[in-house]
Structures are given as structure tokens and as C-alpha cells.
Homo-oligomer: A and B are copies of this chain.
Amino acid sequence: MSQKEITIYDIAEKLAISAATVSRALQNHPAVNAKTKKRIVDLANELGYQSNKFASNLRKQKTHTIGVIVPRLNSAFMSTVLSGIEKVANNAGYNLIISQSFETHDKEAQNAQTMFNNRVDALVISLAYDTKDYKHLNSFIKKKIPIIFFDRVADKIDATKVLIDNFKAGYQATEHLIQQGCKEILHITGNLSRNVYNDRFEGYKKALEDNGIKYDQKLLICNDLSEKAIEDCLKNDVLKRTKLPDGLFITSDPSAAYALTILKEAGVKVPQDMAIIGFNNDLISRVCEPAISTINYPGNQMGETIARILINHLNGESDINYMNTVILKTDLIVRNSSLKKK
């Protein structure tokens, strides 16, 4: 199938020198005569020589590859994070192997295994919905391959985490709705066994409590935040209630936008009947009518931060083990969907 590869030996032979010198020249090793080097580099270009990473990696025990496992590739937030990671990593000469867990532990474990076999220099991971134990990461820990968790992190594991203050964000969002006069705030969110959703929920509860509102379990809906789930819980549950909530804190912008559409269809006025606040500050929140209030979540910056920490560590410029948790800043963004008072 493939043509004969051109190797450093071919170059060495044609130039009647040793492969070692060729290898050195191609790596810009200082101890090599400038002229010899030029001859080597020129010939390499002429022959279209391409270094074989496998041989090199095999030899050097380093791959310049970072593995990334995410629940799903196709969300605005995730692709922003990935874009940030890729940018920094690529500039530093690192490659990215990306795979999706599709929100299941098994696929996540399987992907981790593959990453491990591929000897990634580091692993970046945002956990699946149903991941509860972290055995599948043990091989990395044993071999001291750095792991960075982001967004959906593992509480019980002692590793570097990059995330936002979900409690605070949840608190802020809820508090804002309360300040706008909401008394019964519906909270639609994801699986509470994941830190992101749990912390936001705790923030929600605390904000209620601090404002003298009793938490009502009927106002909590957990699902996978898919369009189907949103449609289902609104049409078959919320909209059928005798008393409609007057506020909605829903933890993703696409879901918020979709919920808004359904509510409007059903004749609910936003924000008058129900004030809405989302999460993430995706473009989608800005183009709805009314525009949706949200929490700004800097995905791109998160990605860049992750990559930078990793690369500094891999280059030995800093030690990841001293950096336990990085919290990125979020902001409350108020738009018309939640402005009952003007």
C-alpha cells in the first residue's frame, strides 16, 4: 500500500554520513557542523523526508499528544472549550486526540483505555452523566500521567480541576430572579450527581433560603436537558399545573431558548408570567425574543487555561501537582427574559 518510507538512513547513505548525524541535524542539535546540517536539511526536503513519530515516540517515551474525553462534541460550550485547548496545545506542538463518552461510563472507560494505550502525555476529561467511580483512570494515576478535569469534575479524586464556581453562579441566577419579584422559581437542570448541576442547585436553594423562600421539591426537575426532555417536562407537567411558576432557572442556554419557545407557544408571557434565566451565554441566548438572561461561562478561556497548565507541566516549567483547582470567573448577564422590573 504505502510507498517506501524515506528514513534518516536513506539520507545518511546518500550523503555518506551516519544516521546519527542526520538525526541530530534534523533536531537542530547544536553539535553539528553548519554545512553538514544544511546539506542534510536540503536533501531531506528534496526527498520529502518525514520523521516517523512512532519510532520517535517509541524511543523517547513521549508522544506530544493530549487525550481529551468529553461527554458530547456537539454542544456550543464544548466546542468552545475544545477550540481553546486545541489552539494552545497546537501552538505548543501538541496534538489532540478527542473522543466522546456519549454520557456513559462504559464508553468513557473504553476511551480512557484507548488514550492510555496511545500513551497520551496527559488526559483532559469532563465526566459523563453516569460516571460514579474512577477506576478507569487508575492506570493514568499509577503512571503519573497528569489528568485535568474540567467542568464536570470528580470530587473524590485528588487531581487538578478547572471549573467555575457553580454554587455562586446558581446563587446569583436565583437571587436575580428573586430580586425581580419571583416567588416560585422552577429549576430545570441535569443529573444532580454531577458537581456542575448539584452545585448550581445548592446555590439555588441557598439563595431561596437567604431570601426567606421555602424550597419546594416540586419546583425541581432533573433530566438530560435534551430538547425532548425539555419539551416533555414542560408540556406534560409544568404547563398542566394549576399554578405556574413565576420564574425559571434552567442550566443551559440551548434548553432555555427551547423552553422559551415552548412557553411562548403556550401563551406564557416572558418575563411577565415567567422570568427566565439560562446558563453559558451562548449566542443562542442573545437572539431569542426576549433575549435570555444567563451566566457567562468562558469556555474558550477555560480551554486555553487547561492547555496552558498542562503544557507548562509537561515542559517542566511548573508542577501540576501543586495546582489543585482553578476557578474561572463567571458573570451574571441580565437581559429581558428576566426583567420584570425596569
Chain A interface residues (CB < 8 Å from chain B): 1-3, 48, 50-55, 57-58, 61, 63, 65, 72-76, 78-80, 82-83, 86-87, 90, 95-100, 102, 111, 113-114, 116-119, 139, 142-145, 227, 254, 257-258, 260-261, 264, 283-284, 286-289, 291, 300
Contacts and interface: CB of A to CB of B under 8 A. Distances in A.
Contacts of A52: 58, 117, 119
Contacts of A98: 82, 86, 96, 98
Given A284-B284, A288-B288, A76 B76 contact: yes
Report the copy number of this chain in the oligomer.
2
A139 to B, nearest CB: 6
Contacts of A100: 83, 86-87, 90
A78, A79, A96, most chain B CB atoms within 10 A: A79
Contacts of A76: 74, 76, 79
B3 A142 contact: yes
Contacts of A82: 73-74, 98
A154 to B, nearest CB: 21
17 contacts: A2-B143, A2-B144, A2-B145, A50-B113, A51-B117, A53-B117, A54-B55, A72-B83, A74-B82, A96-B97, A96-B99, A227-B283, A254-B283, A257-B284, A257-B287, A261-B291, A287-B288
